[in-house]
C-alpha cells in the first residue's frame, strides 16, 4: 500500500514523555497520596463500590523502589467515538509491556467492548503497532459503543478475560466507558479475581476532566482541526463579503469545543450552551443576540459573519430542554405504541394528547424537519440524538424571519444570506497533534505502570500539561472519585460526572470580555493547519483553554 510522505514521517516520530517514564523500571516508584473521595453521593458510591472506593491518588516519580519486571498479558479496548491519539495510547501501553518483559502479550479486542464479550481479539505485535504509531483513527482494532451492563455481560467479560489469561484490561474511552471500567473492576474483585482494570481519558468533547485529568485526549487535535476550517471560512467570508456562516460544532453535553474554537478564531458570535441554560435564554432571545450582531455589522456595510453553535445547544435552552425531556420520557414509556405511528401528522396528533400545553405549543412552532428529528430513534441511553437536529438551520430560519420583521419597521436595511455547516467527523480521526501524540503515548505508558504496580479501578492521568512534556506528572486517579449518581432510564446509576464549561472559569471570562468587540468588528484569526515540525511554540502548544486554566490556578 502506498502511503503519503507525511504519514511515513509520522511513523518515525518519537513522542516526548515525562522524564520519570524515561527511567528504567527499577528507577520508577509510585508516590501514594491520601484516600480519594467522590465530590457527591459518597455514601451511595461507597455501598456500590465496596472493594474499590476510597483508594488513593498515585503519582509516578523517580525513586529507588522500582517496578517489578515480569511478563504481563493485557487486553485493550477502544470504546466509543474516535479521538485522535488512540493508537498512541496502545503504542505506549505495548512499549511499556515490552519494557517490563519481552514475553508480555497485548491483545486488542475487536470492535470495542463487544470484542471482550464475544472473545474476539487480535494479538498486537510490534509489526502491527508500528503501522499505526502517531496516526489518527481507531482502525487498529476498531471501536464500538456496546455497554457491559447486564449480569450476563459481566459474566461473559469475566470468563473471556480468564480464557485469555489476562492480568489486566485497559479501557480507552469517555465518561460512560470509564464508568463501565470502574464497574468491571469492582465485579472482578467481588469474584476474587486479580484481573485489573485501568481506564484512559478519551473524548474530543473535552468533558472528561477535573483537577487531575487536565484534558481528555483528542480534544487538542479536534479543536485545532475545526479552528483551521473555521479560519478558512472566515477568510472566505472576508473575501466574498456576502454570507453569514452558521457553524455547528461537536459537543453535546459541553461547549468546550465551541469555546476553544472561539478563542482561536474570534468569530462574530459564539453561543455557549452552559450560559444559555444559566441565563434561561429562550430561542427568541438567542435569535435576538445573533440579529444584534448582524444589524451592527450591516450598519458598517459588513453583510457577512460567522456564528459558532455547540452541537448540544438545543438541550440547554430551558423551553427546549423541557420539551426534549417530555419526548424522551414519552418515547420510553410508550415505545411500543409510538412504534406503530409512522406518519408525522399522526405523531403530532398523538403528542397533542400527551405533551404539556407549553411543550406542545413550542413543538408546533418548530419547522416540521426539526420536529421529525426530535422524534427520530433515540441513542443507547434513551435520549434524542442531538447531532441529528440541524440547530444551525433552525437558527438561520428564525434569524431570517426576525430580520424580515425588522425590515418592515426600517430597523434593518442590510442583506442576509446564510450558509450552514456542521463540523464533526472532520476532527475525530485527524493525525494527532504533537501534543496529543505525546500525551496519548504517555497515558499508555502510565497505564502499564499502574498495571505493573498491581492497581485496579484507576484511570491513567498525566498532569502539568502546559509545561514541556518532560515535566509532565504521570499517575493514576481512582475512577470512583470522579463519579456521582444520576438518573438513567428511570433509576439511579453511578456515572462519571461530565465537566461542563465553567462560567466563572478563566477561559469563559476571557471569551466574554472580548466577544462584544468581535460581534461588530471583523477580528478573525486564522490558525492554519496543524504543524508537526518546527519551533515548539508553533508545533507543541496546548490549547488556549488549558493555558488559561493553568494561569488561573497558579
Q: pTM, whole model, 2 decimals? A: 0.94
Q: Taking a C-beta distance cutoff of 8 angstroms, is the pair 155, 103 a contact?
A: no
Residue 419 pLDDT: 98
Q: Is residue 413 part of a domain?
A: yes
**Domain check: are 399 and 363 in the same one?**
no
**Domain check: are 463 and 350 in the same one?**
no
**Domain check: are 159 and 71 in the same one?**
yes
290 grid coordinates: 445573533
CA gap 189, 53 in Å, rounded: 12
350 grid coordinates: 398523538
Q: Taking a C-beta distance cutoff of 8 angstroms, is the pair 75, 214 a contact?
A: no
Is 540 a catalytic site residue? no
Q: Is residue 2 part of a domain?
A: no
152 grid coordinates: 450476563
Q: 340: which residues sit within 8 A by CB, 6+ positions away?
A: none
Residue with cell 528507577: 27
Q: Is residue 234 part of a domain?
A: yes
Q: At 281, which CATH number?
A: 3.40.50.460
Number of helices (H) and strands (E) in the chain: give both, helices first. Answer: 22, 15
List Cα–Cα distances, 550 to 323, 475, 542, in angstroms: 38, 19, 11
Residue 259 pLDDT: 98
Q: Is residue 35 part of a domain?
A: yes
* Beta bridge pairs of residue 197: 169
Helix (H, G, I), strand (E, B) or coil at 29: strand
- What torsion, rounded to 10 degrees, do the Cα atoms 390, 392, 393, 399 define? 150
**Domain check: are 141 and 56 in the same one?**
yes
Residue with cell 461507597: 46
Structural domains in the chain (count): 3
CA gap 197, 181 in Å, rounded: 6
DSSP letters for 133-160: TT--SSTTT--B-----SHHHHHHHHHH
Look at residues 366, 388, 410 and tell me which one is the last residue of a structural domain: 388
Residue 554 pLDDT: 65
Q: Taking a C-beta distance cutoff of 8 angstroms, is the pair 438, 469 a contact?
A: yes
**Domain check: are 149 and 212 in the same one?**
yes
**Domain check: are 406 and 268 in the same one?**
yes
SS3 content of the chain, % helix, strand, coil (to 5): 45, 15, 35
Residue 244 pLDDT: 98
pLDDT < 70: residue spans in the chain: 1, 380-382, 489-490, 554
Q: Among 384, 231, 372, 389, which residue's Cα sits nearest to residue 308?
A: 231
**Domain check: are 405 and 261 in the same one?**
yes
**Domain check: are 380 and 270 in the same one?**
no
Pick the catalytic residue from 176, 205, 207, 220: 205
CA gap 373, 356 in Å, rounded: 19
419-433 confidence digits (pLDDT tens):
999 999 999 999 999
327 grid coordinates: 419526548
Please give the distance of CA 466 from its chain centroid, rounded to a whole number.
19
**Domain check: are 282 and 422 in the same one?**
yes
Residue 335 pLDDT: 85
Residue 1 pLDDT: 63
Q: Is residue 471 part of a domain?
A: yes
- Sign of CA pseudo-dihedral 308, 253, 320, 272: negative
**Domain check: are 160 and 78 in the same one?**
yes
**Domain check: are 292 and 441 in the same one?**
no
Q: At 358, which CATH number?
A: 1.10.10.480
CA gap 120, 128 in Å, rounded: 17
**Starting from the edge strand earliest in sequence, which strands make up the sheet with 105-109, in order?**
28-35, 56-62, 473-478, 458-463, 196-201, 168-173, 73-78, 105-109, 121-123
Q: At 27, which CATH number?
A: 3.40.50.450
The total number of residues shown for the chain amounts to: 554
CA gap 484, 495 in Å, rounded: 6
Q: Is residue 493 part of a domain?
A: no
Q: 433: which residues sit within 8 A by CB, 6+ positions away?
A: 84, 220, 221, 224, 530, 532
**Domain check: are 442 and 539 in the same one?**
no
Which residues form the domain of 327? Answer: 315-388
Residue 65 pLDDT: 72
* Beta bridge pairs of residue 37: none
Q: Is residue 292 part of a domain?
A: yes
CA gap 168, 185 in Å, rounded: 10
Amino acid at each position: 500500500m502506498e502511503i503519503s510522505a507525511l504519514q511515513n514521517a509520522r511513523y518515525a516520530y518519537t513522542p516526548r514523555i515525562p522524564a520519570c517514564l524515561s527511567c528504567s523500571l527499577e528507577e520508577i516508584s509510585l508516590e501514594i497520596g491520601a484516600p480519594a473521595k467522590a465530590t457527591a453521593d459518597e455514601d451511595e458510591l461507597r455501598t456500590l463500590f465496596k472493594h474499590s472506593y476510597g483508594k488513593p491518588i498515585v503519582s509516578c516519580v523517580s525513586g529507588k523502589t522500582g517496578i517489578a519486571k515480569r511478563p504481563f498479558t493485557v487486553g485493550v479496548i477502544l470504546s466509543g467515538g474516535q479521538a485522535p491519539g488512540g493508537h498512541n495510547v496502545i503504542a505506549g501501553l505495548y512499549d511499556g509491556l515490552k519494557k517490563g518483559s519481552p514475553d508480555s502479550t497485548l491483545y486488542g479486542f475487536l470492535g470495542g467492548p463487544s470484542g471482550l464479550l464475544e472473545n474476539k481479539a487480535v494479538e498486537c505485535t510490534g509489526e502491527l503497532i508500528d503501522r499505526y504509531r502517531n496516526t489518527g483513527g481507531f482502525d487498529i482494532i476498531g471501536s464500538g459503543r456496546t455497554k457491559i451492563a447486564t449480569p450476563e455481560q459481566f459474566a461473559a467479560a469475566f470468563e473471556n478475560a480468564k480464557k485469555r489469561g489476562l492480568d489486566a484490561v485497559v479501557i480507552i474511552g469517555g465518561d460512560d466507558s470509564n464508568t463501565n471500567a470502574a464497574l468491571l473492576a469492582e465485579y472482578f474483585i467481588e469474584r476474587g479475581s486479580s484481573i485489573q482494570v485501568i481506564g484512559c481519558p478519551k473524548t474530543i468533547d473535552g468533558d472528561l476532566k477535573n483537577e487531575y485529568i487536565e484534558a481528555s485526549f483528542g480534544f487538542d487535535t479536534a479543536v485545532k482541526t475545526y479552528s483551521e476550517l473555521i479560519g478558512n471560512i472566515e477568510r472566505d467570508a472576508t473575501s466574498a463579503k456576502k454570507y453569514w456562516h452558521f457553524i455547528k460544532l461537536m459537543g453535546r453535553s459541553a461547549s468546550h469545543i465551541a469555546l476553544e474554537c472561539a478563542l482561536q478564531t474570534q468569530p462574530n458570535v459564539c453561543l455557549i450552551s452552559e450560559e444559555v441554560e444559566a441565563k434561561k435564554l429562550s430561542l427568541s432571545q438567542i435569535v435576538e443576540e445573533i440579529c444584534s450582531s448582524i444589524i451592527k455589522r450591516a450598519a458598517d456595510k459588513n453583510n457577512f459573519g460567522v456564528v459558532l453553535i455547540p452541537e448540544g445547544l438545543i438541550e440547554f435552552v430551558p423551553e427546549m430542554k423541557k420539551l426534549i425531556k417530555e419526548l424522551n420520557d414519552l418515547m420510553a414509556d410508550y415505545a411500543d405504541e409510538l412504534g406503530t405511528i409512522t406518519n408525522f401528522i399522526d405523531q403530532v396528533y398523538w403528542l397533542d394528547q400527551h405533551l404539556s400545553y407549553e411543550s406542545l405549543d413550542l413543538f408546533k412552532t418548530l419547522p416540521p424537519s426539526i420536529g421529525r428529528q426530535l422524534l427520530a430513534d433515540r441513542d443507547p441511553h434513551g435520549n434524542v440524538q442531538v447531532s441529528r437536529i440541524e440547530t444551525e438551520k433552525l437558527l438561520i430560519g428564525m434569524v431570517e424571519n426576525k430580520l424580515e420583521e425588522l425590515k418592515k419597521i426600517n430597523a434593518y436595511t442590510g442583506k442576509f444570506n446564510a450558509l450552514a455547516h456542521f463540523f464533526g467527523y472532520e476532527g475525530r480521526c485527524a493525525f494527532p497533534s504533537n501534543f496529543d501524540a505525546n500525551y496519548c503515548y504517555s497515558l499508555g505508558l502510565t497505564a502499564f505502570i499502574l498495571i505493573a504496580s498491581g492497581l485496579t479501578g484507576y484511570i491513567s492521568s498525566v498532569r502539568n500539561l502546559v509545561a514541556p512534556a518532560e515535566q509532565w506528572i504521570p499517575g493514576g486517579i481512582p475512577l470512583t472519585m470522579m463519579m456521582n449518581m444520576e438518573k438513567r432510564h428511570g433509576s439511579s446509576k453511578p456515572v462519571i460526572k461530565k465537566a461542563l464549561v465553567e462560567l466563572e472559569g478563566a477561559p469563559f471570562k476571557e471569551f466574554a470580555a472580548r466577544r462584544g468587540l468581535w460581534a461588530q468588528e471583523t477580528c478573525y484569526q486564522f490558525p492554519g493547519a496543524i504543524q508537526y515540525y518546527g519551533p515548539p511554540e508553533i508545533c507543541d502548544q496546548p490549547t488556549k483553554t488549558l493555558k488559561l486554566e493553568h494561569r488561573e490556578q497558579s
